[in-house]
Structure 1
Amino acid sequence: MKNHSLAVDIGASSGRVIAGALEKDRLELVEVHRFENKLIEKNGHFCWDIEALFSEIKKGIKNCNAMGIKPLSIGIDTWAVDFVLLDENDELLTDAVAYRDPRTDGIMEEVTEIFMKERLYLETGIQFQKFNTIYQLYALKKQNPEVLEKAKTFLMIPDYLHFLLTGEKSNEYTNATSTQLINAFTKNWDKDIINTLGFNFDMFQEIKMPKETLGTLREELVSEFGFDMPVILPATHDTGSAVLSVPQVDDTIYISSGTWSLIGVENYFPICVIKALDYNFTNEGGMDYQFRFLKNIMGLWMIQEVKRNYDNRYSFAELVEKSKEVTEKTAIVNVDDQRFLKPANMIEEIQQYCRETNQKVPEHPGEIAKCVFESLVVSYKKAISEIEDIFEKEFHSISVIGGGSQNELLNQLIADATKKEVFAGPVEATAIGNLVVQFIAHGAIKDIKEARHIISQSFEVKKYVHSMVEK
């Protein structure tokens, strides 16, 4: 019987439980369970259905029995910034309010009046986005101060899901850095920022690192599943796991392509200089205290919403094909404009933007899709130029990883726009990164360098060059 570990990878639109096993220096994946994730409206806010997500995780674990898989360990990764608060009895005080909820409108500006923007960046190195945890907490302090006063425990989404599995509470490092409350140099909670903003410092948990064993399953879950296993912390920030799957990191800019596009490079130290602040780049913590110097770009969320606005009449592949049929020059929108974060109707918002900027308004599905894809590439190209300006060097290749790497049209557009080689894959980058951290903890893989070699031997990567494509 092969020795499997389980990666639970939950994104903004779907989740999956993936079993991984090493076989002759190759990593083999088996999909155990896949499920939908979406925002729900609850108590006047856009929220994640955290109870439903945990139920789906349990279904995935139970499926292992039917598939003859007895996992050696499990680890969970999700998106960043969102959290829950627990009371003194470890009961939920808050819903899992989503980062797309408008409760933080105007809050970032208030916080930077209290704590100077330049100083906040110098200490945390984190990109200014209105939905960062720091602004969510401050919004809660303003709108529901009594809730924050009762809070005894702060847990980010994967932290809470790990707590439900084990009963152990901690804040994993890679996700915690996205809060804009971790000092980039001490790599721990910044007491000065937290106290200045009036948050209860004691509710924040001990920072734990990827590869650490959090604990084993609760007794009632052992009875329910029929087996026990350790919970090993991966990089619980999904991008932190995903970038571990970039097969080659030297001289390479990566794009972790999914609901969001995260574009950046790996670095050994934070870059908290004024130019990086002006370009609005972030220094998120990574495996072994490396840093992901990157920028958040709106990503495929826009085409996901376009598909939904068309009542799912077209698949993503069909929207790509329809966009190829459009020969005229397309309008370009600023994909990072906050109006696209959670509009009532994405198609209408794109069209209105084009009217306001005196561009030809896209009308048909192909025109809308082409507008989205080409606008994304414009944003990518700008971010790449900014990275090269900060590092004072030219990068010669781009690695596109994650689900978006399957979009061959977008990959080719990136190659054409940047005149760089583009390497696309692996598709399940986040689950793979999650798994290799567990294998390193088990001693089956020596380190990330060896893990990347194994990944490069295990999964197809396509190469795109200017105006042509080859495997």
Structure 2
Amino acid sequence: MQKNYLAIDIGASSGRHIVGWMENGVLRTEEVYRFPNSVQRVNGHLKWDIDSLFANVKNGIREAFAKYPAIESLSIDTWAVDYVLLKNDQPIYPVYTYRDSRTQAVIPEVHSILPFEQLYQRTGIQFQPFNSIYQLYADKKAGRLAEAEDFLMIPEYLLWKLCGVKAREYTNATSTGLVNAQTGEYDPEILQALGLPETMFPKLTAPGTVLGSLMPNIAAEVGGQTKVVLCATHDTASAVEGIPMEQGDAPFLSSGTWSLLGVKLAKPITSPESRRANFTNEGGVGYIRYLKNIMGLWIIQCVQKQLGISFAEMVELAKTSTYTRIFDVNEARFSAPQDMHAEIRAALTETGEAPATDADLINSIYHSLAYCYGEAYREMEAVTGQHWDKLYIAGGGAKNATLNELTAHYTGKQVVALPIEATAIGNLKIQMNIQ
């Protein structure tokens, strides 16, 4: 009898519920529900609507059961670093998003207590102003942490709301900048130095662990009962599990709102060279995901919304342009500008000829992203001392043939584009392995 599994994959711009099953040795999938997700700006701060997210999680499970009455298990993955503080098992609002600027004020203080060189040596996690370590310290300074009794990363919070079991999942925990790269557990010395309550940071749980069944009230609400499982709850960790690599472990590019370019390694690299190149050692399913965070399709998504045209129309426009000037996609100015179009134009104008048309601006974005992928690939080869011939691209960006061609040009590598829901596939594979 066919066994069905449900992957709930939530990104910064949308969430999807995907049912998967094996058919003649091939994994088949069907999307049964999709919902929008977006950052909300309230009183000058950026936050997530966590209650709406959970309502959509339940709505999608209901849709899945309506179509597939028997579901073996489900799991949830989301973006990393963001979390929910809890008091009396209720969220402390707002649930901030990583794009909020509140960490800027505390970063120097964190680094005065623990210099970044020391943090990197212990955790192997690259510096990003939004890493949970800075978010939590900002919460401490604001008095929110003293009020809190517990702390769960967003996918852990959603899974707990479904089954009543709290678990801290390893791959996502590494994104906090608080996990020791050698031990694979929260680092007590970092917690003590920063005055973060150690009771909130217990032992970590490996992906593939069964948490329990849906709580009776949830099962009644969604119209079915199933097991709740921990996948690799950091979406990039699930995406890497979902990328089919024919020849061992070549580098991969998980191309979504963020572009993550990396490779699987047996052990972390926490050398000064690795730190200077700003590579990160995130937890994978039995390996280290050695990778670099690149701004990614976020820039394209913002410009697409502003222009009010489709992604396909953007590609066609770019083809009409010969303007190929490069800007640094990773500059902080592109993280959350009020007007992305104007910000890119300003950046290009500061260093030379401005784009004359929207087509020029779009073409410049594609060239700049691909150029950045090439630079990161070469850096990775230099720091690891290894050489590869391929780059596997999965996620939404893999559907953009123009960007793939430019990536092949700027990396000098064979690009294998896999326009698949790699994250959902990885989520499903982890569930299927434990049955």
Runs of 5+ unmatched residues, structure 2:
none
Aligned counterpart, 1:104: 103
**1:250 Cα deviation (Å)?**
2.6
Please tell me whether residue 262 in structure 1 is matched to residue 255 in structure 2: no
How far apart are the structure 2 equivalents of 1:172 and 1:345?
36
**1:91 Cα deviation (Å)?**
1.2
CA contact 2:186–2:202 (8 Å) conserved in 1:
no
CA contact 1:86–1:154 (8 Å) conserved in 2:
yes
Please tell me whether residue 241 in structure 1 is matched to residue 251 in structure 2: no
**1:247 Cα deviation (Å)?**
1.5
Moved more, 43-52 or 16-25: 43-52
Instruction: Specify the SS of the correspondent of 2:328.
Output: coil
* Alpha-carbon spacing, 1:214–1:363, altered in 2? closer, same or farther (3 Å): farther
CA contact 1:2–1:21 (8 Å) conserved in 2:
yes
Moved more, 412-421 or 260-269: 412-421
Listed one character per residue, the Cα deviations across residues 84-105 of structure 1 (whole Å, up to 9, x for unaligned) are: 1111x21112322100011112
Please tell me whether residue 349 in structure 1 is matched to residue 348 in structure 2: no
How far apart are the structure 2 equivalents of 1:126 and 1:316?
33
How far apart are the structure 2 equivalents of 1:255 and 1:236?
18
Listed one character per residue, the Cα deviations across residues 361-412 of structure 1 (whole Å, up to 9, x for unaligned) are: 1142211111111001111111001011012232100000111100000101
* Alpha-carbon spacing, 1:251–1:29, altered in 2? closer, same or farther (3 Å): closer
**1:108 Cα deviation (Å)?**
2.2
Q: Map of 1:257-336 to 2, 5 A cutoff?
A: 257-288=255-286, 290-310=287-307, 312=308, 314-327=309-322, 329-336=323-330
Over 4 Å off, 4+ runs: none
How far apart are the structure 2 equivalents of 1:292 and 1:190?
19
How far apart are the structure 1 equivalents of 2:354 and 2:262?
32
Aligned counterpart, 2:389: 396
Aligned length: 434
How far apart are the structure 2 equivalents of 1:271 and 1:168?
34
Give the structure-2-normalised TM-score.
0.97
CA contact 1:298–1:335 (8 Å) conserved in 2:
yes
* Alpha-carbon spacing, 1:167–1:363, altered in 2? closer, same or farther (3 Å): farther
**1:251 Cα deviation (Å)?**
5.5
Aligned counterpart, 2:33: 33
**1:69 Cα deviation (Å)?**
3.8
How far apart are the structure 2 equivalents of 1:347 and 1:172?
38
How far apart are the structure 1 equivalents of 2:374 and 2:220?
52
Runs of 5+ unmatched residues, structure 1:
443-471
CA contact 1:262–1:294 (8 Å) conserved in 2:
yes
Instruction: Specify the SS of the correspondent of 1:130.
Output: coil
CA contact 1:35–1:56 (8 Å) conserved in 2:
yes
Listed one character per residue, the Cα deviations across residues 84-138 of structure 1 (whole Å, up to 9, x for unaligned) are: 1111x21112322100011112432321111021111010000100000000111
**1:44 Cα deviation (Å)?**
4.2
CA contact 1:11–1:37 (8 Å) conserved in 2:
yes
Q: Map of 1:1-400 to 2, 5 A cutoff?
A: 2-42=2-42, 44-87=44-87, 89-142=88-141, 144-145=142-143, 147-248=144-245, 250=248, 252-288=250-286, 290-310=287-307, 312=308, 314-327=309-322, 329-357=323-351, 359-400=352-393
CA contact 1:107–1:130 (8 Å) conserved in 2:
no
Instruction: Specify the SS of the correspondent of 2:91.
Output: coil
Moved more, 164-173 or 125-134: 164-173
The residue type paired with residue 243 of structure 2 is V
Aligned counterpart, 1:454: none
The residue type paired with residue 349 of structure 1 is E
The residue type paired with residue 419 of structure 1 is G
The residue type paired with residue 324 of structure 1 is K
**1:2 Cα deviation (Å)?**
2.4
**1:43 Cα deviation (Å)?**
5.2
Q: Map of 1:418-457 to 2, 5 A cutoff?
A: 418-442=411-435
Listed one character per residue, the Cα deviations across residues 189-248 of structure 1 (whole Å, up to 9, x for unaligned) are: 111101111111112243111000111111101122232111111100000000112211
Instruction: Specify the SS of the correspondent of 1:181.
Output: coil
CA contact 1:168–1:214 (8 Å) conserved in 2:
yes
**1:346 Cα deviation (Å)?**
0.3
The residue type paired with residue 220 of structure 1 is N
How far apart are the structure 2 equivalents of 1:139 and 1:48?
17
The residue type paired with residue 124 of structure 2 is G
Give the structure-1-normalised TM-score.
0.90
How far apart are the structure 2 equivalents of 1:251 and 1:203?
35
CA contact 1:173–1:208 (8 Å) conserved in 2:
yes
**1:427 Cα deviation (Å)?**
1.8
Instruction: Specify the SS of the correspondent of 2:386.
Output: coil
